[in-house]
Amino acid sequence: MASDSRFAVLIDADNVSVKYIKIILDEISKDGIATYKRIYGDWTNPSLISWKSTLLDNSIIPIQQYSYTTGKNSTDSAMIIDAMDILYSGRVEGFCLVSSDSDFTRLAARLRESGMTVIGMGESKTPNSFIAACNKFKYLDILSAADEEEPEEAAAPKAEPVKKAAQPKKAAPKAAKKPKEEPKAEKEKPAETKKQQEKAIEEPRTSLRTIRRSLRTIVRENSDEDNWMMVSQVGNLLDKRYPDFDVRNFGFSKLTPFLESLDLFEIKDLKKDGNSYAQKYVRLK
């Protein structure tokens, strides 16, 4: 896809947190230009006040949609109507639908039927029906967690001297200190369980086991006479089979290191098909 492809970014404020806005705009910039940036919600609702400064800073147009009755989400209808209006205007080549709601499944399918590229974004709780209806789907909570890990690693060395300075205080021979150490150990256990729960939530819907099986099949069926296949072709076929596939879901920034970690392939730089420069190729071990 051309880097100047025009996208309409439509955000469901009822199902997306304001903390994801930078990730949303950064991700869509990799596929094209966001010519429409609209967000839908009932802006009289106090829970959406946190969006105000973010919308101004990122030039996102808020679309007001009152909730006519309780228990009904009228925001979805407004977003769907706008999407169809933009489609018929012929001014975009793709749509970015940002929501974790399965109500947009039919909309994504209809846009793809019209030749549009549809990129979905939402949290890991997004129903599989909506994910499958998109050309690509990106998990915002996983990408956000990956961004937060970097500053934590940088802050780790600063935490060490603090612990060393605290050692002489603990060394004082007082009987009262023993019962104080026990609750500290108890507090660490719940912290560990919370991290485990967060990791479980962040696991991508398409599991690593599924990806491994598909990779074996893809390379076996599409390799050349020497059993080699270009890494870029492998990535393209994975994207088509699994809209939510992203190497960042598994802690990698590029496809080649991810493939190396699986220990399934030989990976080499080869010149094939008359190319003057070498490209990455893989074949099954």
The pLDDT > 70 percentage for the chain reads: 76
Q: Is the pLDDT of residue 158 over 80?
A: no
Q: Which tens digits make up the pLDDT trace of 62-92? A: 999 887 655 456 778 899 999 999 999 999 9
Name the residue among 29, 28, 41, 160 with its Cα closest to residue 101. 41
What confidence score (pLDDT) does residue 188 get? 44
CA dist., res. 1 & res. 20, Å (int): 25
What confidence score (pLDDT) does residue 278 get? 82
pTM of the model: 0.73
CB atoms within 10 A of CB 252: 16
CB atoms within 10 A of CB 114: 11
What confidence score (pLDDT) does residue 73 get? 63
CA dist., res. 42 & res. 64, Å (int): 6
In sequence order, the β-bridge partners of residue 229 are 282
Reduced to 3 states (helix: H, G, I; strand: E, B; else coil), residue 35 is strand
Q: Is the pLDDT of residue 201 over 50?
A: no
Q: Is the pLDDT of residue 99 over 90?
A: yes
Q: Is the pLDDT of residue 272 over 50?
A: yes
Q: Which tens digits make up the pLDDT trace of 30-66? A: 999 999 999 999 898 888 888 988 999 999 999 998 8
